[in-house]
Amino acid sequence: MDEAKLIEKLRLIEALFAGAATEGEKVAAERAKQRILERLRSYEREDPPVEYRFAMDDMWSRKVFVAMLRRYGIRPYRYRGQRYTTVMARLSKRFVDETLWPEFQEISETLRTYLSEVTDRVVSQVIHQDSSEADVVEEPLPLPPAAGDGN
């Protein structure tokens, strides 16, 4: 998958979570964003925002998640002393459950797959063709005591 295809796939994911009904809407990423923003506002009226703590696995996931929050006008933050991969935000539970978290998971998995493919390709072409996992071997036997140890 090249970068242009990746970007298009991410836009389609956003359109899917926005509830786009036609193919034309799926291409219009800005309209999809507006639909999600409208849904967020309606959820907040029915289900007031509460503070959430999200723990990301890595800095890449955190970067994607923070960007998504900002895209929807939500202020991400963390408290002093919290890990760098922790993201706090005030959100409607319904928005998190039905839109934000499922969309994040889909986007994150798509990016993770893309980055893995690029990494494998670059390692294979530049460093070594065999980029398979290291062999698993039995633990070595303990060494016999050295002469003169008194054991």
pLDDT value, residue 148:
64
Domain containing 6: what range?
A: 1-46
Cβ neighbours of residue 47 under 8 Å, at least 6 residues apart? 92, 93, 94, 95
Same domain? 80 vs 67 = yes
Residue 124 included in any domain: no
Residue 36 included in any domain: yes
Residue 85 pLDDT > 90: yes
Same domain? 42 vs 57 = no
Confidence band (pLDDT; 50, 70, 90) for 47? Answer: confident
Residue 31 included in any domain: yes
Same domain? 10 vs 21 = yes
**How many CA atoms are closer than 13 Å to the CA of 123, on its beta-carbon side?**
10
Confidence band (pLDDT; 50, 70, 90) for 84? Answer: very high
CA dist., res. 104 & res. 102, Å (int): 5
Same domain? 77 vs 52 = yes
Residue 6 pLDDT > 70: no
Same domain? 55 vs 87 = yes
What mean pLDDT value characterizes the chain?
Answer: 81
Confidence band (pLDDT; 50, 70, 90) for 144? Answer: confident
Residue 14 included in any domain: yes
Residue 26 included in any domain: yes
Residue 109 included in any domain: no
Q: Are 67 and 33 in contact (CB under 8 A)?
A: no
Count of the separate structural domains present in the chain:
2
- The DSSP code for 77 is B
Residue 145 included in any domain: no
Which of 6-10, 36-40, 129-133 has the weakest average pLDDT?
6-10
Confidence band (pLDDT; 50, 70, 90) for 67? Answer: very high
Residue 63 included in any domain: yes
